[in-house]
Amino acid sequence: MPESILPPKSAIHARLITLIGVCDRVFFAGLPGVGKSLLLQQMALLAAEAGREVALLQWDVLRQPFETPRYPLQAGATHPLVIRAAGNWLRAQLPNLTCDLLIGELPLIGGRLIELAQTRDDAAEPLLRTARTQFVVPVPSREVRASIEAKRAQTIAAPRHANEADDAPPNILRALWRDLQTLAQTLDLAKQPRDQAYCPETYAAVYLQLLRHRHASLLPVEMLLPTRGSVYAHLAELPQLRATPDEAQAALRQAESSPAAPAWWQV
């Protein structure tokens, strides 16, 4: 098992330790390329040291059973029906989970697992509203975000783990940022002109708006954390939420027959 790379006296380390002590579910919400997988890995390591039994939720693992020859991953982009089916399946599973601590990643942008931010009259809603479920938005500085994007290009070109080949490539990262900028304009949250690069303030404002019905908070990331090998190496050893083939097909059929919401960000 790898060791934690977080400085013990750092604010991030202290924050994760606090969450491990008081939560049943922690979701890192944010764009690809903001360090969600690394934070998930580090929290899983710290939770194991604290005696918590962990299960993981990772978008790139969760979506796979829903991808079919009809709805394949194309140039790093997920089909909209796969997005809807995976999110609906996940929400239905939450009340039945028996794990001690669920740690997950929620992209949200483009509707990816936005179902956990939406308010619904179902068995999952009380679990998602309780303070024992926390949504944490990592907010890297401009410098950290640029470094993550550069490193992403390297790991996709020369993957150290099979999962790295499925990471969103830099062009998708930039396209998703443009999508978020457009959404910020729609929600009147933009802090900068449409054509500028990553802006931490705009990014944070949009995600807090999407998570306004949840216990959500920001996690500033001001320093690039040094990785040792692939962040996925240890994660593959832990239980992952994943639909069976039959469950995935049933969720896809339901998504095909149900009308799409008029706007995914209307939570």
With a cut of 90, say whether residue 227 has pLDDT above it.
no
With a cut of 90, say whether residue 5 has pLDDT above it.
no
How much of the chain is in helix, strand and coil states, percent to nearest 5? 50, 10, 40
Least confidently predicted of 78-87, 185-194, 243-252, 256-265: 185-194
The whole-number average pLDDT for the span 198-208 is 95
- What does the alpha-carbon distance between residue 182 and residue 20 come to, in Å, rounded to a whole number? 35
With a cut of 70, say whether residue 253 has pLDDT above it.
yes
Query: For 156-182, what is each residue's pLDDT tens digit?
Result: 656 655 665 566 677 777 888 889 999
Amino acid type, 62: L
Query: For 88-105, what is each residue's pLDDT tens digit?
Result: 999 999 999 999 999 999
- What does the alpha-carbon distance between residue 101 and residue 55 come to, in Å, rounded to a whole number? 6
Percent of the chain at pLDDT > 90 equals: 66
* Coil vs helix vs strand at 254: helix
Give residues with Cβ within 8 angstroms of 193, minimum separation 6: none
Return mean pLDDT, the chain.
Answer: 89
Closest CA to 232 of 107, 60, 95, 116: 60
**Cβ-based neighbour number of residue 261 at 10 Å:** 14
Percent of the chain at pLDDT > 70 equals: 88
The predicted pLDDT at position 236 comes to 77
With a cut of 90, say whether residue 58 has pLDDT above it.
yes
- What does the alpha-carbon distance between residue 262 and residue 49 come to, in Å, rounded to a whole number? 44
The predicted pLDDT at position 17 comes to 97
Query: For 114-173, what is each residue's pLDDT tens digit?
Result: 999 999 999 999 999 999 999 999 999 999 988 887 877 666 656 655 665 566 677 777
Query: For 211-221, what is each residue's pLDDT tens digit?
Result: 999 999 999 99
Q: Is 110 left (phi over 0), alpha (psi -120 to 50) or beta?
A: left
Q: Which domains does the chain have, with CATH numbers?
A: 11-140+203-257 (3.40.50)
